[in-house]
Structure 1
Amino acid sequence: MTGLRERKKQRTRDALIVAAHELFVTQGYDATTVDQIVEMVDVSQRTFFRYFANKEEVALFVQDMVSTIFYEAVCAGPPGEPPLEYLRGVLDDTWEAVGEAVEALTPLDLHLKMCQVIETTPSLLAAHLRHSLLMEEKLVREVARRTGVDPDQDPRPRVLVAAFVGVMRAAVRQWSMRGGVSLKAARALTYDYMAQLKPAVSGGWGRTD
């Protein structure tokens, strides 16, 4: 059971995340200072830096949490299933858990707006892509482990993960930039994009009309 002290620390961390994201959404990432964030929560700068190294870390906290939940689920499943089908199955299995984890931390509407901020802030988008590349490499290693191949000799794990992550990024960018999208609508769009992966790489793009 989590002790009172740990729960208090988590509440402070979560309050800093929500305050930071509200400021990022309303006035922009670059215009927001750590002083403004801590003022909203009524804590000191020292407290902020106890939880986060900088603004970038608090801005990307939820995205990194989501990536970690997915990666840990990928690692936890039994081997044997074809890797693309397996990754899609893990996405399906973890979607509700991810949504619950996000909503336990920050209002969903705020999270969706924060996705827009990330996509439209060059410095933040660059940092997010850097984080994503690190997670992509971990996924490559895990897919290779599950399939018994050497990712430094066999290109298939890297190609597969690049395609999967690329489709996910394309879907996230589409629904995050639309505004007012529900979690249900985001899921439907993501699944639609994922369903296009095989047709997109198998040819047959000629017009049918």
Structure 2
Amino acid sequence: MTDLRPAPDAPATGLRERKKRRTRDALLRAALLLFVSQGYDRTTVDEITDAVEVSQRTFFRYFANKEEVAFAVQDLVESHFVAALRARPASEGPVEAMRGAVLAAWDTVEEAISEVVPVDLYMRGYQLIESTPALLAVHLRRSTELEEEIARLIADREGLDLDADPRPRVAVAAFCGVMRVTGRLWGQGEDTSVEAIRRMTEAYLDQIRPALAAHWHRPPAAPGPAPAASATGV
């Protein structure tokens, strides 16, 4: 009979991984709380580690620097959207797929965020990014990198050469522009719930959707003219 019992060190390994996850999440929560309460620039790594009662060495085991911890949850949100876009039906046009993906992501990302930090803390952290010059510059750079990733994904969906056809980059730039405007206006409003930003996203995307909603699949090559019959009929 096959022995299906786990290896003796399996429980210990699982326990270590859970402990690492708890430590990382605790550092992330402490950092975000300090960022939103006293400002990103005024917060030091020492203050973050003191709040969790760990060493600097432990902090740098999980995060390269303050910038990385500031964007950790945003990374989660963006990866959630990219995964949702990859899962969209191939029959959808590019803008329809992006719209469906972002709305589906907002429907499910709240649970994913709450496993790491309170959703309200993430929302306040996003507002902090939008209002802190150093973080906003990083956010814009990261947004450009994300746009390129999405454009390549769209080009692959449509069977297009991204370097020869500008439409994926143009559409993704328009889509991401709406996302940035939505995030900025949402951050300035009184309702900072996930549902509020989802409603705004849907409304603003619907305003540009008609102009960009066409399918782009490369049409099949038209058959060439039939060869002329020779004088001998061959």
The alpha carbon displacement at 1:77 in A equals 3.2
The alpha carbon displacement at 1:200 in A equals 7.8
Structure 2 match to 1:8? 19
Structure 2 match to 1:189? 200
The answer on 1:77 being equivalent to 2:88 is: yes
1:32-62 C-alpha deviation (Å, 9 max, x unpaired): 0000000000110000000000000000111
SS at match of 1:62: helix
Structure 1 match to 2:121? 110
SS at match of 2:115: helix
Separation in 2, partners of 1:199, 1:109: 34
Q: Which has the higher helix share?
A: 1
Structure 1 match to 2:57? 46
Alignment of 1:15-164 (within 5 A): 15-164=26-175
How many residues are treated as equivalent by the alignment? 202
Alignment check: 8 A CA contact 1:80 1:147 kept: no
TM-score by length of 2: 0.82
The RMSD of aligned alpha carbons is: 1.8
SS at match of 1:30: coil
Identity of aligned residues (%): 55
Separation in 1, partners of 2:89, 2:203: 26
Which residue identity does 1:71 align to in structure 2?
Answer: V
The alpha carbon displacement at 1:198 in A equals 3.3
Alignment check: 8 A CA contact 2:106 2:194 kept: no
Separation in 1, partners of 2:177, 2:138: 16
* Distance change >3 Å, CA 180–CA 84, structure 1 → 2: closer
Alignment check: 8 A CA contact 1:113 1:179 kept: no
Instruction: Tell which structure's C-alpha radius of gyration is larger.
Output: 2
Structure 2 stretches lacking a partner, 5+ long: 1-10, 213-234
